[in-house]
A and B are shown apart, each in its own frame.
Chain A
Amino acid sequence: MKSRLNVIDNSGAVVAECIKVLKNAKWAEVGDEIVVAVKKARPISEAMSSSMSAAKIRKGDVRRAVIVRTKKEIRRPDGRYVRFDDNACVLLNNQQQPLGSRILGLVSAELRFKNWVKVVSLAPRVV
């Protein structure tokens, strides 16, 4: 069983499972890209399909994502160690652009340093 993350954008997915870390390392941190399989998605009603983004996320979809919060503490340059309450990600398309149009909740400030500009700008709060 692989790590499960909460999906905090409005793409329709709710829970995603990490199936691959897209860097030459054993684990991914905040700001790293991963491949996820969607384990839980919000039901898509036909009436809403037009207003939402073109890509309809269903359960079982394999997508890319970027990690935005981890329960494992991350080291900040001033020496602090920061950790969040859960693991969360934002789904991406193949051009590394976020699939959803809004992000709900916090994202870590690490994203700024790892050049996820679009995600940071969408986020309501960056801590």
Chain B
Amino acid sequence: MKLEVCSFTGYKVYPSRGRTFIRGDGKTFHFLDSKTESLFHQNKNPRKLAWTPIFRKIHRKGISEEVAKKRTRRNVKYSRAIVGLSLDAINARRNEKPEVRSAARAEAVAKLKAARKEEAAKKKAARAAAAPQGASQRVSKQQARGAPTKVKATTR
């Protein structure tokens, strides 16, 4: 079984459907039905008839979504300098080796800790200086207002 293609529209022509016309010069034309055959003999151009697939293809009817999807552009990524950091500085940081980075990080952490320790020591010294003058026991807010001291629970 051989499927022909309609010479006018491009539709598939199954056996025992349509007609075949052989012109004097030997060129063979297959037609889907008498409509296409008649139009052919009237010398109509299928490209100008709005219902033919050829026309629809030329005027891009019905396939616009597919075409739009496939044509989306890809975003190009490229590095730019920021205010405060030149492009070189950014690239240097990006290309830093992990050991270098962790060493730098450890250094920074150690620095921070040392600074904190210093601060804590300072604070303690300040508190120690202030402590002998003031009350050593802690006074709750309620006690300060005049409430009796709470008995510490031994059970439970």
Contacts and interface: CB of A to CB of B under 8 A. Distances in A.
A79 B26 contact: no
B16 A127 contact: no
B15 interface: yes
A106 B16 contact: no
A79 B19 CA distance: 10
Interface residues of A, number: 14
A80 B4 CA distance: 10
A112 B26 CA distance: 18
Nearest to B2: A78
Contacts of B23: 85
B22 interface: yes
Interface in B1-41: 1-2, 4, 15-24, 26, 28
Interface of B: 1-2, 4, 15-24, 26, 28
B28 A127 contact: yes
A82 B20 contact: yes
B2 A84 contact: no
Secondary structure call for the B interface: loop
Contacts of A105: 24
A79 B10 CA distance: 20
Contact of B19 (A83, A85, A86, A106): A83
A81 B30 CA distance: 10
Contact of A85 (B1, B16, B20, B24): B24
Contacts of B24: 84-86, 105-106
Interface string A69-84: 0000100001111111
A80 B16 contact: yes
A125 B28 CA distance: 13
A81 B4 CA distance: 12
B109 to A, nearest CB: 88
Given A78-B1, A80-B4, A85-B22, 18 more contacts: A73-B19, A78-B2, A78-B16, A79-B15, A79-B17, A80-B15, A81-B19, A82-B20, A82-B21, A83-B19, A83-B21, A84-B24, A85-B21, A85-B23, A105-B24, A106-B24, A125-B26, A127-B28
